[in-house]
A and B are shown apart, each in its own frame.
Chain A
Amino acid sequence: METPDTLGYILAVFQPSCLWAIFVGVFGGTVIGALPGLTATMGVALLIPITFGMPPVIGLNMLIGIFIGGIYGGCISSILVKTPGTPASAATVLDGYPLAQKGQALKALGMATIASGIGGLFSCVVLAFCAPLLASFALKFGPAEYFSLAAFGLAIIASLSSDILKGILIGCFGMLLSTIGSDPIGGVLRFTFGMTGFADGVAFIPALIGLFAISEVLVQIERIFEKNEVTVKLSGSIPSLRELASCWKTLLRGSIIGTFVGIVPGTGSGTASWISYSEAKRNSPHPERFGTGELDGVAATESANNAVCGGALVPLLALGIPGDSVTAVLVGGLMIQGLAPGPMLFTQRPDVVIGIFTGSFIANVFMIIIGLAGVRLFAQVLRIPKRTLVMAIVMFCVLGSYAINMNVTDLYTMLVFGVVGYFLQKYNFSLAAVCIALILGPIAEVNLRLAYIANQGDLTVFITKPISAFFIVLSILSLVWPVYREWKTGKKIPQ
């Protein structure tokens, strides 16, 4: 593997033109990520045709820069205005927004930036040194394994909810919503009431924007009318080394979870950040502080979602199989460069593969620099008077929800979910549960049914396959754990 050319391939990335392309990618990606509705996937897709004329290493590294910047950028709007910029950052809202409301925006943004950087760099190390080794793991996931992984993810709802019964209830509600649209096996339309806009089901990103952002806007409007507007003060600074050090376990755990979820095809940064958040809460000495502005919560989600980037590139570069939705689009980026994604890429084009490894490292470093240089600037958003800010948020939400598919139904989805989210919050239901159910419900359904078909109705496959059995056990544990804890401490876990 080690050839004298390796150093040359690495140095090739340090040409000014390539560094510039990566910088532009990361910067543009951060902006795209921060705007609600515009996701990393969309950013990469729209720029692929532009990379056509570029040399492969430069073009692909620019796309990877957008990928990494886009996943990171989502946290900015999540923390500052409770509007997840991308689905990857929805979980960051839970603790990032309360932190910002307490005047700790700089701390939250700083932690998010550093956590993203650590997660990203960790996954790049894994990518560069173990890609061929780990890639075969991606192939072990068939329908049974996916179902069990999704079931484990859904079980998280129990540990995230203050009231388990309410959590399960609202989780089921989310699962029911995810059955709207065309049946994943036969393609027959379900519960669309004749509206073609619902053929693909409830559009996830508009629903997410509605649930978190529009519902918060309604809460703010209520406060404005009641004349008890809270002005957010901007105090504190970016996290100190001591604060960072106290989160090291969470950062490491998030990085590992994110890399792993990234490697597994068909799941992505959205799933990773929720699993990491729930694991951080479960392992925390004070889980009751999660959801009220716990720095560990931000560290967990942001380290995990950026670790997905390197992880998702593992099967893409080693096998030609995309690890998540962004890398699925990157397949097109590779092909347009005349590079056939597949197992031969490593041997046929080591210059490109090593160039991408190096580029991903550089992109993560640029991301940290851009992020840390920008935190003070980003946080100025909080100085905007609430009345103006609320209107601006609504405008961006409408634009973002429409921009995804240019489908008017998506706007109605956003509005309805906004109202639903408002009442859910009022009555103390967990928005996270709806969000998780919408991400994982469809994955669970289709894979349960595929596993059933492939094994002619034999359901023991879920426990006879080792990976599947592992996740089934984990999900039972995470369902039992909160009940056990409640029983042991003799009191309810306050959220």
Chain B
Amino acid sequence: MNKLVTLFAAACAVSLGVAAPASAADFPQRPITLVVPWGAGGGSDIIARTLVSPLEKELGKPVIVTNKAGGSGTIGTSFVAHSRPDGYTVGLINNTGLIHQIHYGGLEYTREDLDPLCLFLKVPVFLVVNSASPIKTLDDYVKTAKEKDGALTLGVAAVGGGTHLPIELFFEKAGIKVQPMPFKDGGSGVLTALVGNHIDSGVIHPSEAYGQYKAGNLRVLGVLDETRLEAYPEIPTFKESGYDATGQVWRSFVVPKGTPKEVKDILVKAIETATKDPTYLETLAKIGDLPTWMGPEEFAKYLEEDDTKLLATIKRLNLYNKNVQ
């Protein structure tokens, strides 16, 4: 009988422990789910899985990566937005889920449903042509685009996707129109079509360009970044060539709106330390992504700026609310 009472008391205690709102001091008490809204094996997924062990070291609890792929990252982002705001569900979301898709409409979340934690990674964007192409500089590109009057083709991973919108900023500044051609296999599809000479130009990430670029099959016209990349000092930025266009794909951590500030602080601190882990940085160097850091306030401000910058382009391309039926 005594045993039963003890058992019952223990059960009550356990259930109370679960039900009670996590007080910040003892966060985390149980495993944390890291939601990746893209498939296993993709760019975001590799980053998430490399971050698991340094994050676990910081937080002292298991971190479980869950891939919720689909809808260009919106299904997983929506899942995070509607999760319990207790810090146990964290999303690794990139700019398409926080800016682009929101303007395309038809979603089950808004940015108000999410609290930004930090922006920790940038993936630069290259404009490339086949090395046999007569286009040698950005000025050549602009000239050819004008001559071809909208028929110059540009391979992109998706119309309105993470690599397409930044390059459209350049087209705007240069006053040209090109024909985007989306490739289902993303960067590798664009790369194949470029090297096989099926398209005139393409936008891809440095990690995708690397092999063919070093082999001399690709010419990189410019990098859409504020400064030249350390690994590619010979490649000019668009700014240097006289076109004030910058943009990249970035990755960030977010939590559901209403997550207690203390919990968010613990998470941000853990992420900040984890992203300095040497093994993680080594992986980044290998795949060509750039570590960066913006804390919650700075990131929230940046999000607004980036949003305003891209919204005009989205409207110009007739992509605004395209998914509202």
Chain A residues within 8 Å of B, Cβ to Cβ: 41-42, 44-46, 48-49, 52, 138-143, 182, 184-189, 192-194, 196-197, 199-200, 265-266, 319-322, 328-329, 331-332, 335-338, 340-345, 405-407, 442, 446, 450, 453-454, 456
Contacts and interface: CB of A to CB of B under 8 A. Distances in A.
Given A187-B159, A407-B68, A453-B179, A143 B215 contact: no
B45 interface: yes
A343 B70 contact: no
Interface string B214-226: 1101000000000
Interface string B139-169: 0000000000001010000111000000000
Contacts of A338: 286
Contacts of A321: 188, 191-192, 195
Nearest to A343: B215
Nearest to A45: B41
B46 interface: yes
Contacts of A329: 40-41
A328 B188 contact: yes
Interface of B: 39-43, 45-46, 49-50, 52, 66-72, 74-75, 78, 104, 106-108, 151, 153, 158-160, 179, 181-182, 184-185, 188-189, 191-193, 195-199, 207, 210-212, 214-215, 217, 279, 283, 286-287, 319, 322-323, 325
B272 to A, nearest CB: 21
A221 B195 CA distance: 54
Contacts of A48: 41, 46, 49
Contact of B210 (A41, A192, A342): A342
B70 A405 contact: yes
A330 to B, nearest CB: 9
A196 B108 contact: yes
Q: Which of B66, B74, B151, B325 has the most CB of A within 10 A?
A: B325
28 contacts: A42-B40, A46-B40, A48-B49, A49-B52, A52-B50, A138-B192, A139-B195, A141-B192, A185-B159, A187-B322, A189-B106, A193-B325, A196-B70, A196-B74, A196-B108, A199-B72, A265-B185, A265-B189, A266-B189, A332-B41, A335-B287, A336-B286, A340-B211, A344-B211, A345-B211, A405-B75, A407-B68, A442-B184
A60 B52 CA distance: 21
Contacts of A184: 182, 184
B149 to A, nearest CB: 11
Given A142-B198, A187-B159, A45 B212 contact: no
B41 A139 contact: no
Contacts of B191: 320-321
Nearest to A341: B211
Contacts of A188: 322-323
Given A49-B46, A343-B211, A405-B75, A186 B322 contact: yes
A139 B106 contact: no
Nearest to B43: A332
Given A200-B71, A329-B41, A320 B158 contact: no
A336 B49 CA distance: 12
Nearest to B104: A187
A150 to B, nearest CB: 12
Contacts, number: 159
Contacts of A44: 41
B192 A139 contact: yes
A184 B196 CA distance: 21
Contacts of B42: 332
A335 B196 contact: no
Residue among B40, B107, B158, B188 facing the most chain A CB atoms (10 A cut-off): B40
A342 B215 contact: yes
Contact of B70 (A138, A197, A344, A454): A197
Nearest to B209: A342
Given A186-B159, A338-B286, A342-B210, A266 B108 contact: no
A340 B214 contact: yes
A35 to B, nearest CB: 15
A141 B199 CA distance: 12
A327 B304 CA distance: 38
A70 to B, nearest CB: 13
B41 A41 contact: yes
Given A321-B191, A406-B67, A45 B40 contact: yes
A223 to B, nearest CB: 36
Contacts of B207: 335
A37 to B, nearest CB: 13
B19 to A, nearest CB: 25
A441 B270 CA distance: 46
A340 B151 CA distance: 33
Nearest to A330: B41
Contacts of A331: 188
Would you list the 4 A-B pairs with minimal beta carbon distance, nearest first?
A: A342-B211, A45-B41, A142-B198, A45-B40
A193 B185 CA distance: 26
Q: Which of A192, A341, A345 has the most CB of B within 10 A?
A: A341
Given A320-B211, A340-B210, A446 B184 contact: yes
Contact of B66 (A139, A266, A340, A406): A406
Contacts of A194: 106, 325
A454 B181 contact: yes
B211 A454 contact: no
Nearest to A145: B198
A356 to B, nearest CB: 16
Nearest to A200: B70
Contacts of B195: 139, 319, 321
Given A186-B322, A197-B75, A342-B215, A142 B181 contact: no
A54 to B, nearest CB: 13
Contacts of B75: 196-197, 199, 405, 407
A277 B212 CA distance: 36
B214 A342 contact: yes
B70 A142 contact: no
Nearest to B187: A331
A450 B179 CA distance: 11
A184 B156 CA distance: 12
B283 A52 contact: yes
Nearest to B194: A139
Contacts of A143: 193, 198
Nearest to A44: B41
B147 to A, nearest CB: 14
